[in-house]
Structures are given as C-alpha cells and as structure tokens.
Structure 1
Amino acid sequence: MAVNLKLALMSLVFLVAFNAINHAQAAVFDVTTHGAKPGADMTAALTSAWKDACAAAGKNQVVVPKGTFQLGPVSLDGPCKGPIEFQNQGTIQAPADPSKFQDFWIQFLHVDGFTLSGGGTFDGQGQTAWKSNTCVNDLNSCGVLAANLKFSFVTNAVVTGITSLNSKYFHIILLGCNGLQMEKLTITAPADSPNTDGIHIGRSSGITITDIKIGTGDDCISLGDGSQDITITKVACGPGHGISIGSLGRYKNEEPVSGITVTGCTITNAQNGVRIKTWPGSPSAGSASGMHFEDITMTNVDNPILIDQGYCPHGQCKAQAPSTIKISDVSFKNIRGSTSNVEAVKLACSKSVPCEKVNLQDIDLKFTGSGESKTICENVNPTISGTQNPPGCTGAPAAAGAPAAAGPA
C-alpha cells in the first residue's frame, strides 16, 4: 500500500512538473510588443513576432489584438520548432495599390501544426484591382494579382473563425497542403468582382471545408488539378459561380483529381450550382474521378448541375478539339431547388473520352420560366433513378463528332 502511494505521489509530481514545463514553453507574441500600432503599417512588427515565435520551442501564439492595422505583402515561413497559432482579433488591411504585390498578400509557407484563428478580418481592399482587371474579357492579358491568404505546403492545420473581405484576386489559395481543416469562415466580395474565388485548392489532399459562408464574384470553391480526398460540407454559397471542379486540362501534365465529396450545401442566386469543367483541346491527357454531390439545395441558380467539357471562356481555346480529361464515377443525388434555365441539368462530355459511371438520383429542380425544362446529355449515358425533374436523358448520347458546347465563365 505504501509503495502504491509513493508511486502515485511520484506520478503526480511528474505530471505537475511536465505541465509546468509545457506552460513555461508556451508564449504569446503580441505584435504591439514588437512595435505595431493601430492605424499604422505593422509589416516589420508581424515579421519580427512570427520569427521569434517560430524559433521558440513549445506551442506559441502570434497575436494581432483588436484594432485596425495596415500590412504590406508578407510571407510567414516555417518550419517552426513547434506548433504555432496566428490569432487575428482585429482588422488587417492590405495596401489598395495592386502593383505592390506579387501573387499573394499574406503567405504561410512550410508550416506544420498551424492554426489561424481569432475572429478577425483580412481586408484585401480589392476595389482598385478589380477596376484594372482586364482578363475578364481576355485571359491572355491577366496580370499578377494578390490572393488575400495563400497556404503553401502547410500541413496538419486548422483555419477557423476568420473573415476574408474584398480580396484583389482569389481569397484563399491552398497549394501543396495536406491535412488542413477550414471551418466557420466568412468570405465576401461583391457579385461583380472579377476572379475573386472564395477558396481555390490545387495539388492538395486531406482537406476538409465545413460551415462556411461564401459570397463572391467567381467560384465559391474551385478545385484544380491534384485535388484529392477533399470533403466539403455545410457551405452556403452565393452570389458567385458555384462549387466547381476545374477548370482542368488547360496545361500540360496536370495531376489527377479524385475523392471529392460535396454534401449538405446551399447555393443561392448563383451562376452555377455544382459543376465539373475541362478545357477542349487539352495539351495532355488527364482524369477526374470519384466526385460525389449530395443533399444540395439550389435557389435561383442558372446552371444547377453541369458537366462542361467544352469550357472555353472568351474564345481562349481550340473549341472544336475535344477535351482529353477522362471523367468517371460521378454522382448527383438529392439535388433540389429552382432554376431559371431551361437546361436545368447539362452533362456535356467529351467525344474523345466520354464520361463513364455517371449517376443521377432524386433530382428535383423547378423551372421558374415558361415551358418545360430538360436534361441535356452529350457523350454520356447516365444511370437514372428516383425522382427526375426535369426528366432524365432519353435516347442515345450525342453523336460522335458533336463538340460539347462552350459553357459559362
């Protein structure tokens, strides 16, 4: 009994000492103690606070307190000695002049065990950039514009409770990330702001997006090549261009897309609902598979369900050359709501590599115009079950040689 009591006391002492050491290692690096002042530029202060926190052992926080701060373009780089949290409690504003940036405003690079939180706002002040954005009509004239937040090769991370406002370009970009969870975000820009995608994912895996409100001038969420094992739930999208896989096939040697699940979302007053888009005349073959859309409510959406393998905005491609991106194992289940487009469901697949294993189940999209809406199928023969409004495809797919129609931006 005495031995057991002695062991218990030794264990308690060890736990207290261990917790004390952990507590001693943890630290808060407030940017104001590094020289930041509300209303002034804090680029040097933030860089200094991040550097010190990254170099310290233990779990550390970089904190921007309540107030409005100015910040120029900055890259906050790892690897760090321990997990690190950037907690923005205030409003951080970017310079309005787009010429002061490359392709990002704030970048997190090579950080493992990262958290972005705090309930604050990242204001990209994109109005000036939108006015000078000429690539709305000519993709070849696109200059370099800055995303509000760029996560490059970030792993085991959580992004929660922040707001991205009026980005000059995409709001949030994930590149080469793995094991990243995004939740309880607000992403906002006017409906006519060009190229302000809410979240863009490229060559990343193990990404979870949930409980997010996105209203922008472009895709709420876009998934580029190399997107794998992506789960999107409880996203409220609108206005915008919907939730899109692609565009794919514009460049050589793109990586496959696979394992995409979109469930429990609402899309309102948007140009598109859920869509897959690939370029015609793709320079190399590719694939997109295992893409599933389920339990989605559409309200006043122009193109609720769309596969567009002739995506050719502003004539920037060889529209008559078929896409070489193979689409397979796709399902649209329990998609309901309203549309003003007579072509409520459009599956326009490639004549070169027709879509395979496409499933339409329990589709109920009420047409708000006059006459009957319809389902268009080109180079695909989907499996159809349950409720079908509009009626599913009848007859054979489009004849070989008939190109898929160019779709919306």
Structure 2
Amino acid sequence: MAENYGKFSDRICMESNATSALNDYPRRLDFNGWIRPSAWEFLFLTVDNVREEDEAKEMLRARRLIKPRKSMGCPQKDLQLSPYIMGTAALMFFLSMIRTCAATSKHAIFNPVDFGAVGDGKSDDSSAFLRAWAAACGSEGASPVMLVPSSGIFMLHRVSFSGPCKASEIHFQVAGNIVAPPGLWTGDLTSAWITFIHLKGLFINGSGKIDGRGRMWWACRSKNVRIFKSPRCATAPDILAVAFCNGFRMKGLHFVNSPGRHVTVFASQWVKIEGISVSSPGNSPNTDGLMIQQSKHVQIVSSNFASGVVNTTLFSSARLGERLIPGYAISFAYFYLKQKTNGIINQSFLFYGQRYNTWIDLKFTPMKKGDDCVAIGTGCFDVNVSSITCGPGHGVSVGSLGIQGTRAEVEGVRVTSSHFFNTMNGVRIKTWPGGSGFAKKITFENIRFTSVFYPIVIDQYYCGGALGCPNKTSAVEVSDIRYIGMRGTSTEERAIRFECSKKFPCRNILLDNVIISSSVKGETASSFCYNAHGWTRRTVIPKVPCLSQ
C-alpha cells in the first residue's frame, strides 16, 4: 500500500509544480506545505470524494502524516507512511463495510409465507398477510418490503393495510397473484376489498395480477337492477383503494375482473400511477378502471384500460314508440330490451336522450357496460393523464359532479397523448343538474380516436341513466376547456356534443386543430351545441356553429 500511495503522491506533487495544477488541489495542501490526503485516498486512490475528505479532516489535522520533499519538490521513494495512517485506513475500510451492509439490509423483506400464508388459491391467507404487514410497518429500516412471492396464488378476504408506519417509505411488491373469494362474499359494500390507508411513501409495484373474481357480482347486478327499485347488488366492492396516502406510487400491476371499480385513490397527494393494466369483460357493469377523488398532484402515465364494452344482440323493439319524442330542455326515451351478452340473456333498459327544441329521431344503440377508463371526481386539482390506452370502456371522464345538489370543484386537469378505441365516449365532462361549484382549466391535447361513439362531450344534464332528468336552476359551472390536436373517427353522427346549462352556460371553450370524421361509410360527422360559448382555431371538423372562429 505504501508503494501505491507513493506513486499516487508522486503524481500529485509532479502536477503541483505548475501553478495551475496547484490550484486544482487546494484542499490537498496543509499549512506549511504538508500534503494532507484523506483516508479514502488510501483505500481507493481517488481525488474525487470531497465529502469523505471533510469527514477525515479533523482526525488528520493535528498530525503531519507525510514528510514532503524540501522546497515543495517532488517526493521520491523517501515518501513514508506513518503507522497511524495504516491504522486509520484499516478503520475506515471496516466502517465502510459496515455502512455497505447497513445499506443492503435497509430493504428488509417480509414474505407472507413466513407468517403462515399457504398460497394455494383456496386457503384464506388474510391473517398471514396482516401479520406480515404489521411486521413490515413496524420495521425501523429505511424502506421495508412486503413481498408477495411469485410462487403462489393467495386468496384474501377483505383486508386493510393501515399506517402510519415507522419507516418513511414502505413497499408492497406483488410478484405472484392475489385473488378474491368466490361468490358474493360480503354484504358490506361500503369499502374496498383491499385498502391502504394513512400511509406516507407507499410504493405498490410488481408484475403480479390481482383478480377480483367479479362474475357473480356482475350477474347479480344485471339480474336485479331495475329502474325505480332498490337492487340487491346496486354496488359492489372495489378491488383496491388508497386513501389518505401522501407520496403514493404504483407501477406495473395487472388488475382484472373487479366486482366494482378496479382502483380508487381518495384524499391523497403527490400520486404517480405508471404502467398498470386494467381489464374486465363486456358484461361487467360499473367497473371503472381508475377513480380519483379529493386528491392533488396526480400523474397517471403509460397505462392500459379496458373496462368492458361489447356490442350486444337486441331481440325486441321499443315499448314506448320508436321516434318523435318532443324535447324542450331535456327529454329522454327509453327501451325495454332483452340483450344477449356472452351467451346470457338479460333484461335491461336502454336510454337515449337529447336536448333539442324540435322532434328527434331515436335509433337503437348497442347496450354498453363497463365504465370509465379513468374518472376524475370532485376535489381534484393538478391531475395529469398521459400516454394511456383506453378501450373498450366509457373513456376518460371529469365527473360526474354535483350529484344530489352537492358542491363540486375540479381544476387543472390535463389528458394528453392518449388513444381511445371502441369506447362509448372519448373525453367527457359530466355534471348533475342542481349541483354547484366549478370544473375549469381542463385541457385535452394530442388525442386519437378510433371508432368512438361520442369523442367529445360536455353534458351538464347528466343523471346517471335515470329517467326524466330535471332541468334545475343551478349547475356546476364549466369553463376554460381546451381541445387541441385531436384526430379520429366517430361511430355516431354527433361526434361533438356540448350540452350546457341555460343559466350557467359553458364558457371559454377552445377547439384547436380538431378533425373527427365518421367511421360509417357514406356518413358525415356533425356536432350539437347548446348554451356553449367559445371559439375555434385552425381546422375544426365537424363545424361547431355556437363557437366563433
């Protein structure tokens, strides 16, 4: 080591003969010309680590460790290392190894199998998961990991992973599969199947799959839902809910077959969801891909959502006439249908409503199921959705807002660089009559549509499919909405629909470089505009007559 350090010091002193080189090593020269190397230089022969040099400064300050050549000349083989240097080097090396081991062990791993989980897809592993979580959450390591191993299929009943935890970050890594119990396994529909609550620095990631086994729930809802009745399965549990979590991240998981919504985020801040996939078949009602509420600073990027939309076969005609329904402010017509989906015949109601001052023709529309790919609810600020794929499903919705006369506030939403295909809606803002508040500063940009029923929608008369939606005097105000750089095709004639409140019309709407054509050969796409104000820029097809150019 002495020989190596001698060569190292030779290089320093040789370079220090030049004035410019002396300036390069101001910290290497002690008072009276003594060379003061740091302990890390002895270990690694480097001159780059200033922090460790500072740590060793006080220890080395009082001793003249290296005898320099006279007149600051270049030392030759007479350079000697003191025994103190050798001891210091050994001590620093030992401490560095301890620090390396500590850095490695900070990611303590807690495997539910070690706490009694079976992983055969049949046994209830809920208690083992909760014991593993309690150990991980109570760990004092910097970043404990609860690992669901790839070797098993773990069945859980309703579980809640709660905080606060001792660590500043905690990981929940899913390498294997998690499944819900079979059948209608709970009568409590007020909470999700898996909940994470009151946590900071939560990171849920992995390549595993979380399966909600929702088929029995979907069948129950399709069979029992009737208008003007209280259905047995009006709601169903969501797969996963995150509530009151700051600094939450999710990456890479696969969610399938949810009884209700797949993922919900509530009352959380600084959220990033990346690279997840959501999939449910066509006979899955109200299975939103991702629902965001009361949350701020949210990013949703590079994810795929397929929330169950299929065409169905209609067997019967309308019960209330086939056309000529008058509509002044709002009118609805409905059909009592039998539909066949995946070989199962279900009875349902099909609504079709528009707000016109003239008679309208009604046409059959295939029954839609599933729900929004991404839904952004009240209390959301600074939400960015980018590079997602949505389809089938109901598109991306801001809302619904203002239900049952409540106040809703949404501001600063951006949906960009995304593709919608075979969806009922593309980008939609929907509010209930009678509500209050605002939805403003919302931008949809660089969007591509492929065979979307209604690519662009603002609906201030939304009633969730209820019959006879009232025209009330208050509404959630919609303003400062931007549609920029949008292309694609629509399967319905009215590709653009702005249906706004008479008392609180939509304001400051911009359509800039929007081109949407009909996907039906020989047909032309059109628009409908009611109480909407704004302007267009560059090319806009179809024309929107209520917006100035």
TM-score between the two structures when normalised by the length of structure 2: 0.68
Q: Alpha carbons of 1:21 and 1:132: their partners in 2 closer, same or farther (altered >3 Å)?
A: same
Identify unmatched segments of 5+ residues in structure 1. 397-409
More helix, by proportion:
2
Which of 90, 93, 97 is 2:176 aligned to?
Answer: 90
Tell me, in whole angstroms, the C-alpha distance in 1 between the residues paired with 2:264 and 2:36.
58
Q: Return the alpha-carbon distance in structure 1 between the equivalents of residues 433 and 446 of structure 2.
A: 30
Determine if the alignment matches structure 1 residue 69 to structure 2 residue 150. no
- Are 2:519 and 1:381 aligned? no
Aligned to 2:377: 224
The 1-side partners of 2:229 and 2:272 are apart by 32
2:206 is equivalent to residue 118 of structure 1: yes
Q: Which residue of 2 aligns with 1:407?
A: none
Alpha-carbon distance in 2 for matches of 1:331, 1:137 = 36
Q: SS where residue 219 of structure 1 aligns?
A: coil
User: Retained in 1: the 8 A contact 2:462–2:469?
Assistant: no
* Counterpart secondary structure, 1:110: strand
**In 2, are the aligned partners of 1:309 and 1:323 still within 8 Å (CA)?**
no
- Matched residue SS, 2:129: helix
The yes-or-no answer on 1:340 pairing with 2:373 is: no
Q: What is the CA-CA distance between 1:253 and the residue it aligns to?
A: 4.1
Q: Which residue of 2 aligns with 1:54?
A: 137
Distance 1:395 1:129, change over 3 A: closer
Distance in 2, matches of 1:25 and 1:262, equals: 38
Cα offset, 1:344, TM superposition: 0.7
CA drift at 1:22: 3.7
Alignment RMSD, CA only? 2.1
What are the superposed Cα offsets for residues 236-274 of structure 1, whole Å, 9 maximum, x if unpaired?
A: 000000000000010454341000000000000010000
Are 1:165 and 2:252 matched, yes or no?
no
User: What is the alpha-carbon distance in structure 2 between the residues aligned to residue 22 and residue 214 of structure 1?
Assistant: 38
**What's the counterpart of residue 291 of structure 1?**
442
Matched letter for residue 79 of structure 1: P
Q: SS of the residue aligned with 1:188?
A: strand
Q: Structure 1 counterpart of 2:144, which letter?
A: N
> Which has the larger Rg?
2
Render the CA deviation track for 1:120-161: whole Å, top value 9, x for unaligned: 000000000011124575696464411001001111021001
Segments of structure 2 that go 5 or more residues without pairing to the other structure are 1-27, 29-34, 40-51, 57-91, 308-369
* Residues 310 and 322, structure 1, Cα contact 8 Å, conserved in 2: no
> Using a 3 Å threshold, how does the CA distance of structure 1 residues 17 and 253 change in structure 2: closer, same or farther?
farther
Matching residue of 1:256: 409
CA distance, structure 1, for counterparts of residue 246 and residue 542 of structure 2: 43
**Superposed displacement of residue 329, structure 1:** 0.6
Tell me the number of residue pairs that the alignment of Structure 1 and Structure 2 aligns. 394
1:203-243 per-residue CA deviation (whole Å, 9 max, x = no partner) reads 00111000101001110000110011100001100000000
Amino acid at match of 2:180: A
- The worse-fitting range, judged by mean Cα deviation, of 244-253 and 330-339 is 244-253
Distance in 1, Cα, partners of 2:228 & 2:371: 16
1:322: Cα distance to partner? 4.6
Q: Secondary structure at the match of 1:96?
A: coil
Q: Match for 1:8: what amino acid? A: E
Note if 1:327 corresponds to 2:499: no
Kindly indicate whether residue 131 of structure 2 is the aligned counterpart of residue 45 of structure 1. no
Q: 1:125/1:97 Cα in 2 relative to 1: closer, same or farther (>3 Å)?
A: same
Give the number of the structure whose residues are more often strand, by fraction: 1
Cα 1:316–1:3 shift into 2, 3 Å: farther
DSSP-derived class of the 2:439 partner: strand
TM-score under structure 1 normalisation?
0.91
* CA 1:110–1:136: 2 relative to 1, 3 Å: farther
Q: Which amino acid aligns with 1:196?
A: T
Q: Distance in 2 between matches of 1:379 and 1:395?
A: 10
1:5 to 27, 38, 43: 38
Code of the residue aligned with 1:41 in structure 2: it is D
Letter in 2 for 1:176: A
Alignment CA distance shift 1:138-1:231 (3 Å) = farther
Percent of pairs identical after alignment? 30
Contact 2:490/2:525 (CA < 8 Å) preserved in 1? no
Q: Give the corresponding residue for 1:280.
A: 433
2:196 aligned partner: 108
Could you tell me which of 408, 422, 426 is aligned with 1:269? 422
